[in-house]
Structure formats: C-alpha cells, structure tokens
Amino acid sequence: MMHFKIIPENYVNKAAKCAQIALGCSRAAHQTALRGSIKLNPQIATLTPKVRAFVERSAALCEPEHVHVCDGSDAEAAALLQLMQQQGTVKPLPKYDNCWLTRTDPADVARVESRTFICSEHERDVVPIARAGQKSALGNYITPADYDKAVTDRFPGCMRGRTMYVIPFSMGPVGSPLSKIGVEVTDSPYVVYSMRVMTRMGNKVLDALRKDENFVRCLHSVGRTSNPSTTGWPCDPPRTIILHRPTDNEIISYGSGYGGNSLLGKKCFALRLGSVMARREGWLAEHMLIVGITDPEGRKRYIAAAFPSACGKTNLAMMTPSLPGYKVECVGDDIAWMKFDKNGVLRAINPENGFFGVAPGTSAGTNPVAMASVFRNTVFTNVAETSDGGVWWEGMGAAPENVVDWKGKPWSATAGTPAAHPNSRFCTPANQCPIIDDQWESAEGVPISAILFGGRRPEGVPLVVEARDWQHGVFMGATMRSEATAAAEHSGKMIMHDPFAMRPFFGYNFGDYLRHWLSMAQEGRTMPKIFHVNWFRKNEQGQFLWPGFGENARVLEWVLRRCAGAAAARDAPLGRVPAARALRTDGLAGLDLERLLSTPRDFWMNEADCIEKYFKEEVGDDLPNEMWDELNKLRKNFEQA
C-alpha cells in the first residue's frame, strides 16, 4: 500500500487562487506555483506527469492530511473495510460472505438533478435554444465563471484531517479500444470501495496510462458541514453540487457521498462526458442494458435497450426466458458504449464492472438471477437489516421479525414508513452474475442486432412496434415517455418525457444529440433495427394486459426473427407490429393480444399534440427537421387510418 504524507506548508492562500483556475491542465501557470509548496513523496513519482500534476493541484486545493494512491489490491480493500468499520460507515452482514451495510445521512440518498450542471462557453452547447435563460428539462447549464466560483466557494481546505485517495480507473475492459480512463480523487473510503466494484481500478490502469496518458479528471469531496454529521456519513447537502466541464475532461463533485453523485465513473463520466466524447469521436454513449439471446437452434444475437426508471431494466438484463430452449445472458444492466467497426457492425461494451441496482422490488420472483448474485462481496446501502445479520427490503418477500430500518431504528410493518429506502442499492461485481455473458469483457465489444426503447405506458402504447427505418427509430427514442412518481407539487403519477432514457444524462444540446444519432446511418453499415416496447399496458380495470418478466422473451423472439427477416409484421400507423400469430402466445391463457397491439386513433392524435408541445417548448429551433417530418408522418398515418 502506498501511503505518504503531504506536508502542507503555506499554500492555504494559494489554494483559493488555485480553485479559481480549477484543475485544468491548460492552466499551467499555477501548476508551477503549487509545485514549490508541496513536499513530494517519492511514490508520487510513479504516476505519469499528467496524473501527478492533477494529484498535486487537488491536494494543494483540498489540503488533505494524507494522499493514498490506490493500487486495487485485496489488501487495500481489506484496509478500507477496516477503516470504514472504525469510522462507523459500514458494518458487516455476517449472514453472507463479505457483505457490508452502509447507512447514509437521510439527506443524502439520491442523485440531485437540480444541483447537477454542465459547463461550456455557450449555453446553447448544453441546452436547446428554446430554453435559453430558462430552466430546461434536458439539462442544467452553468457558466465558466459560476463553475469556478462554485469550486472556490467549496473546495479550499475541504479535506483537512482526511486522507485523499487517488483512484485510477478504466471504464470498459483495460486496454479495449472502446475503453476510457479516469482518475478520481476523493476523501470517501466508501467511494473508493464502491469504485473498486463498479470499475476496473488500480495498478493495471496506471500501467495503461503510461501508454496513453489521457484521462478524465474527477475531483470529489463529501465536503464538510458547520454542524458535523452524527450518522457517521459526512456530507454537505445544502452545498451539494455536481459539475461537468466536457471541453476540459473534468468532473467536480462536492457534498454528497451517494452513488451517482460520487461514483463519478458512472453517470457523470460514462454518460454525460461520454455522450460528448461519443459525438466528437463518432460513437454512442447510451443509458442502455446489453443482453445476448440464444435461440433453440443455438443462434446468438445481442440487443441493447433503453428504459426510463421503474421499468425493470435490471430485471430484463438478467431475465430468465419463459420460452423453452431460449437463453438470455447479461453483458450489462445500465450503460452501453457503442461504435461501428470497420465492417459496419455496431459493437457494444459495458463500461462498468458491477451492478449498482435498486434493491426494493428485487426478489426470487422478479429477478432470481440478481438474488443469486448479490449475497457475496456486496455493499448494501440504505436497505433494512435483519436480526440474523442479513438484509431485507420491500418486495423481497415476507418481512422477518425484528427488522431495523435504513435509518437504524426498529421497524414494524405497521410503521407506515418503508424499512428500506426506496432508492436503496446493492453494489455487486458483475462477474458474480450467474448468467454473465462469456463475451462481457470482450475488447472489441458484442455485435448489436437490435435497439429497444421502452416506457411504462398504462394506455395506448402497444406491446411492441418496429420502426420503419433508422430515422423513425430516432423519433421513437426522442418521443419516449414513461409513468413516474411526479414532482412533489403534483399528486400521483404522471407520464414524463424521457428521451432515450437520457433526460438527466445529456452532456450536450439534445437537438445536436438527435443530429448525431441521425448521422449514424451511413452507407456500408448494418444498422440495427429499432423497436419500442411497453410491458405495462393496462385494461379498464387497471390490470396489466401482459404478464411481463420472463414472458417478455416472446417479444424478444419476434424482434430477433424480424432481424433475421423471418417473422411477419403488418404496417400500423405507428410502425410495424406483429402480424396475426407472428408473436408466440402459446401457453398464455386469457391474453387480449388485439388490444395489446392496438393503436387507438384518438389517443395518438393527442399524443402527437403532446410531442409537438414538448418539441417546441424544450427543443425549438434546435430540433432537426427530420423529427418534424416524422411527427407529420405520424399524424398523417392516423388521419388516413
């Protein structure tokens, strides 16, 4: 373990200056100014010059007591666990093998979109013109000046008395041409341990950096409050901020230790910065699961699928197909990085190394594969604890006696509050998944035959529709909506727009994002077929029309036979739906397939109005004309139907 002390000399005042110039390599003047004020430890010399410069500037700004460069070893992980136990951040779960429970501060339990910003010179780089100077649903813009001020106001001295950990990590298999490297500096051992699960980290990444020294700079601090936390979970909720500067390959996060706000490789890097890199370099960084499906004849194909939250994305990624002879294998459950290869085949990698899954609702019924994955080497956050040193959450099964809730208080079913926080999580190595695909770490990625978009739509939206062509498929992604628990001021559930399931994750102007997707269709490429699916349509009595879960294999079977040119489809105003008897429904009693596949005219004329309003209000002049063409086609198809 590399452990060394940085002796803080008189650079306290310099730190504030340093913050103003943030951490960019372009700001060379201050690098030299700082170097003189830090006692260099010999071990820091093993870092590449760019990493070293970043570490030095971060240390000068945050003033940690120690700096620890993570090597990724088992000994290091054991030491982190021991430290976190001493500090009261984790406790062991003796019912399982190497499993740990963390309870966060009750004010630090979720990603905070309202405090997540993208910085660029011009507002229009980040949000569409229609929202200039207003709040956009598609991202928050921050000026370079406000970005620098946010850092200066928070970071100087924020790690005093703490250890600053340096985490070299790779998004994607180390050495894959599709992978990217980051270095996260953090004062949270919980973040280090979680990054060890969710990414490839340590010495092998430092080695890779010696071949290509480019990396994304990630600076994270849990921050410090005037009234320190009594929960053993330091954080600074009133001042929490998550900043992205795509043009500088920089992410800066302050005040939250929770998942998406602090494990900066995931949403911040792989999606927000990733989407900007992907546009620049001609590929796609998407909020998609990746699965391989093998049919009874042994033919294997891969699909990628984007779903908004509460649609069961992780369940689909680990699905047990009901159709005999079919096999589903998991490549990833959350993020896909995809690029056309020289043969024109779209190849996908999962940039992650683990699953950071929502625990509530996961059971032997809904996701037996996840249940077989998570009871070893896992960090559980904000779940309930059982008296035998196990975990419990709503939707796992009958509540045992003597449950302690996520806040550490005795809980009973009559309490009226959930035992596990609704956003409680498991953080588990992907290689523990019993159906992990044998190609999941393939350097070239897996070939994608089809892309699915989905949503939770109680009304009007058919079980499955195939896009007529790529442009129509892009329109399907652009117009995705899903039922969600609405903001506090609205009661109950609303159908929210969530284009490409990327609404909180766009790193740049959504209009440009659509243009980038449209530009993917090129001569010599085998474009994946695009589909929209809806497992959640209901009848008038409010009952689901489709059994879902493993039975979704019937839809995937039709999708893959469409890709092979084998299955029959009929043209509907919305696109192509399964022809009579083309979708396998054998063994499903009482299915109202006609209704499941129907596309009611009145519903869709109203939906077209909602889409028009959304396009105008949120995208305006930045919307590619192709999207208006598709909306016109949609209306015309229904008028003529």
As beta bridge partners, residue 76 has none
Window 348-367: residues binding ligand TSX (CB under 6 A): 361, 366
* Binding-residue pattern over the window 294 to 313 for ligand TSX, x denoting contact by CB under 6 A: ----------------x-x-
Of the candidates 315, 428, 439, 482, which one interacts with ligand TSX according to CB under 6 A?
Answer: 315
Report what 312 binds from ligand TSX, Mn ion, none; CB cut-off 5-8 Å by kind. Answer: ligand TSX
Residue 311 is a catalytic residue: yes
Check residue 513 for interaction with ligand TSX (CB under 6 A).
no
Question: CB of 310: closest distance to ligand TSX in angstroms?
Answer: 5
**Residue 290 near residue 348 (C-beta atoms within 8 A):** yes
Between CA 559 and CA 302 the distance in angstroms is: 11
Number of other CB atoms surrounding residue 13 within 10 Å? 9
As measured in angstroms, the least distance from the Cβ of 424 to ligand TSX is 14
Collapsing DSSP states into helix, strand and coil, what is residue 343? coil
Pairing of strands 300-306, 446-454: parallel
Which span sits near ligand TSX by CB under 6 A: 153-161, 260-268, 369-377, 547-555?
547-555
Q: Does 333 bind Mn ion (CB under 5 A)?
A: no
User: What residue 319 binds from Mn ion, ligand TSX, none (CB within 5 to 8 A, per partner kind)?
Assistant: ligand TSX
Q: Which of 311, 330, 433, 563 is catalytic?
A: 311
Residue nearest to ligand TSX (CB): 312
Buried b (16+ CB within 10 A) or exposed e, 96-135: beebbbbbbbeebbebbeebbbbbbeebbbbbbebbeeee
For position 329 contacting Mn ion by CB under 5 A, the verdict is: no
Using the rule CB under 6 A, which residue among 22, 62, 291, 316 binds ligand TSX? 316
* Rounded least distance, CB 452 to ligand TSX, Å: 12
Q: Which is closer to Mn ion, CB of 127 or CB of 271? A: 271
Round to whole Å and give the CA distance between 501 and 480.
7
Phi, psi of 622, rounded to the nearest 5 degrees: -80, -10
Asked if 323 and 583 count as a contact pair (C-beta separation under 8 A), the reply is no
Helices and strands (H, E) in the chain, number of each type:
18, 32
What 493-498 contacts at long range (C-beta under 8 Å, 24+ apart), as own/partner pairs, is 495/457, 496/308, 497/137, 497/614, 497/618, 498/308, 498/455
Alpha-carbon distance of 100 to 90, in angstroms, equals: 6
Residue with smaller CB distance to ligand TSX, 198 or 359: 359
Candidate list 422, 548, 600, 620; residue touching ligand TSX; CB under 6 A: 548
In the complex with Mn ion, which residue's Cβ is closer, 267 or 472? Answer: 267
Stretch that binds ligand TSX, among 314-322, 517-525, 573-581, 626-634 (CB under 6 A): 314-322
Three-state DSSP at 22 gives: coil
**For ligand TSX, which is the closer residue by CB, 216 or 559?**
559
SS3 483: strand
Closest separation in Å from C-beta 316 to Mn ion = 13
549 is a site residue for ligand TSX (CB under 6 A)? yes
Q: Which residue number is nearest to Mn ion in terms of Cβ?
A: 334
286 binds Mn ion (CB under 5 A): no
What are the residues whose beta carbons fall under 8 Å from the beta carbon of 226, sequence distance 6 or more?
Answer: none
Binds 334: which of ligand TSX, Mn ion, none (CB < 5-8 Å by kind): Mn ion
Q: With beta carbons less than 8 A apart as the criterion, state whether 249 and 153 touch.
A: no
Q: What six digits make up the tokens of 522?
A: 């090129």
**CB nearer to ligand TSX: pick between 428 and 482:** 482
Residue span binding ligand TSX (CB under 6 A) among the ranges 260-268, 377-385, 514-522, 541-549:
541-549
Which whole-number Å values give the CA distances from 289 to 207, 292, 329, 451, 637, in the listed order? 29, 10, 11, 10, 32
HSE toward the beta carbon, residue 186, CA cutoff 13 A: 32
Quick one: CA torsion of 183, 189, 194, 195, rounded to 10 degrees?
10
Our finding on whether 334 is near Mn ion (CB under 5 A) is: yes
* Beta carbon nearer to ligand TSX, 544 or 628: 544
Shortest Å distance, C-beta 75 to ligand TSX: 38
Number of residues this chain uses to bind ligand TSX (CB under 6 A): 14
The contacts of residue 625 (CB under 8 Å, 6+ apart) are: none
As a whole number of angstroms, the distance between CA 630 and CA 636 comes to 10
State in angstroms the smallest separation of the CB of 334 from Mn ion: 4
Alpha-carbon span 355 to 381, nearest angstrom = 13
Contact status: 534 vs ligand TSX (CB under 6 A): no
Among 169, 392, 393, 535, binds ligand TSX (CB under 6 A): 535
Two tokens, residue 409? 């208080």
Instruction: Report the nearest approach of ligand TSX to the CB of residue 298 (Å).
Output: 23
Residues forming the site for Mn ion (CB under 5 A): 334
Residues forming the site for ligand TSX (CB under 6 A): 310, 312, 315-316, 319, 361, 366, 535-536, 544, 547-549, 552
Q: Mind telling me the catalytic residues?
A: 311
